Structure 1
């Protein structure tokens, strides 16, 4: 069995990022099945006319590759082969050399710098990321908020975005956005002014700044942050690439904040990706007469986004999602039950979480302390049936760690005494 080196894998991924389009689930499936080196070899052979898509499919079937069973794989191989036969895709070292000359790099899964949050995208997760900038992705994306919104932002919207990004940066939280005019640029600039790293996800190659009018901003981002793209160097931004780029923004952040967005704003696409990933979404309120806020208001009205007005509101949403709540819940029981030395007295209450089974703990983790959720939403979040969710919620209510409100169920910040 041939052992592939990291350099061979990196070169193959570099070629595949030029051959395929961002978020191509079929290409990801093939790579997961047979590896990037073999995938690149097959597509190059078909692209050069050395074999056919039919023969490639037969070869995949003979090895038992699961990807061969997909009904669209044959057509996909023919589609990828068109690019795979081009000189640019064949010379996989060219992109790596070009990015190196710019001081950048290709980050792939397995690298220390790889941001594991993006793996939540599953079949739509990127094969690799082209990166420029001083910041390491694994570091700056460890605690993040996405701040996105309208390109044609109002002065109100840009001030909200600037104030939010400034305050988040002051708290050590990385602001991520898309580098566009309006809300995106205001958020990036505020983080830079606070001398904090910020990350811009691009729809085109990282070697060509878009929009070009923001070139100075991008240069400033490089000094302490990072510019990231899934598309190969030299590739141009296109509408579908912007929409697919948005999934990276959503996946890289614990909370996505929509500051200002019209009815058909691309920022709503970012919110949709975040919701699909079960990430928190928040929105700033605007004037009821402002067309720039109709999309943000719709998210709030349909209970898809939390209404926020400052960084404290956003940080509360981040902390509300922290899985450490199980470990911290016992600490909330201290206070009147603890003696002056800080140790629990003999009358200290038992930890209400100790008696919960796994299903009930999962259900508790699906709740929030900021917004009541209906049983259907809770069941979906927890991966339970409606009946199991109801049983678990009843147990959580009896344990004093959750309670029913008028519009749904909420987790309690401070557990109540167990009902006897």
Structure 2
């Protein structure tokens, strides 16, 4: 068990409630706040007064589940896995989960040795489509490894596709990653990711609201997403269709005041449609880990400035640029024409033209000046050099 202000009786009762009730039930959250865990368990199982407002069919269902309650056995099971059961009030409890209000988890079943509270303080969720494209898988892996290399914890749901790629990217970089499951921590789901989830438990953390042996359902996946959203500083979505659990996570994150981010994709792909809709709703567009960290990190953690390649023309000062732009593209022009179009005196214009000639941007033919061959097409000057002497006489 984890040291903290939570009594042994309270911990046992909360462990029982994770088997007795479903995750994210706000009625249970309200009853828990009024009655405490011990009285609530008694009320739901018929051993004490029922909670106010509880329907009879609800109480009947809880009493049916009461026969399966063995909180001491569940705590022993998680201890054998090298894990623990966290409750609100424990020193390791991640306080940002309290932002969920009455939908806050009753407790968290944990595998892995790192401190959940400390890891959650510097974490980012990377989520997306299960049936992602190669592009989505590659982007998710790069985000996972990039965030891990920058000291951020990558949190996801261990699903196929984007989730798995993000976890693998973080693990490959030797970084920190957390899997939040919609099943018990001893029930790896999907089955094909049993090895991956085992690696995450060894190198990072595996979290679940369901007790040991708990199996995932469709509704539990949706409810799991609220934990991912609340636990992290921000959520990045990589590929998602319009109806996607990833969008549920991102929108819940936005409601909780967290950063929401999306990686754009081809407009012709249905897997990009949900992300693009999220961006239209106000999420921030990101393309790599640097841009994610700029949004969720501390002051000064800025992404590098992005720009195209620097060409020689970029290095000219304003006067040289004006003189260059005044040189006609075809046939050239005399000094008077160039000085007039550049808006400068003849002597100033001539000095600029000699400067441009030395840099290879222009060339002089008698009394006329014209652009060097390459300058008119690519923005890169032709290397300066001597022109061959004109031939005299006939051919």
TM-score, structure 2 length as denominator?
0.72
Q: Does 1:170 align with 2:149?
A: yes
Name 1:32's counterpart in structure 2.
Answer: 33
CA positional deviation for 1:97? 1.0
In the alignment, is the contact (CA less than 8 A) between 2:6 and 2:89 conserved in 1? no
Give the drift of 1:14. Answer: 0.6
2: distance between equivalents of 1:197 and 1:312? 17
- CA deviation profile, 1:353-374 (whole Å, cap 9, x unmatched): xxxxxxxxxxxxxxxxxxxxxx
Aligned partner of 2:174 in structure 1 is 195
Contact 1:108 1:114 in 2 (8 A): yes
Partner deviation per Cα, 1:241-271 (whole Å, 9 max, x = no partner): 0000000000011110001111212111111
Alignment of 1:272 with 2:251, yes or no, is yes
- My pick for the range that moved more, 308-317 or 240-249, is 308-317
Q: Which of 277, 288, 298 matches 1:310?
A: 288
Whole-angstrom CA distance in 2 between matches of 1:81 and 1:197:
41
The equivalent position to 1:80 in structure 2, one of 62, 72, 78, is 62
- 1:58-104: per-residue Cα shift (whole Å, max 9, x none)? xx6xxxxxxx2x4x5555434323312x1x21x22111111111111
2:31 corresponds to 1:18 = no
CA distance in 2: counterparts of 1:112 and 1:191, whole angstroms: 26
RMSD over aligned CA atoms reads 1.8
Alignment of 1:127-276 (within 5 A): 127-276=106-255
Structure 2 stretches of 5 or more lacking a match? Answer: 301-395
Q: Is the 8 A contact 1:135 1:197 kept in 2?
A: no
Give the conservation status (yes or no) of the 8 Å contact 1:22–1:244.
yes
What is the CA-CA distance between 1:272 and the residue it aligns to? 1.8
Deviations 1:210-252 (A, max 9, x none): 0111111111111221100001111110000000000000001
Aligned pair count reads: 296
Q: 2: CA distance between counterparts of 1:193 and 1:5?
A: 37
* CA deviations over 1:276-332 (Å, ceiling 9, x no partner): 2121100000001111111001111232x111111121112113xx6x89xxxxxxx
Larger of the two Rg values belongs to structure: 2
Q: What SS does the corresponding residue of 2:210 show, helix, strand or coil?
A: coil
Equivalent residue, structure 2, for 1:108: 87
Counterpart Cα distance in 1 of 2:147 and 2:114: 17
Q: What are the superposed Cα offsets for residues 363-420 of structure 1, whole Å, 9 maximum, x if unpaired? A: xxxxxxxxxxxxxxxxxxxxxxxxxxxxxxxxxxxxxxxxxxxxxxxxxxxxxxxxxx
| Distance of 1:226 and 1:25 partners within structure 2 | 26
Look up the match of 2:78: 99
Spell out, residue by residue over 1:104-124, the C-alpha distance to the aligned partner (whole angstroms, 9 max, x if none): 110111112111111111110
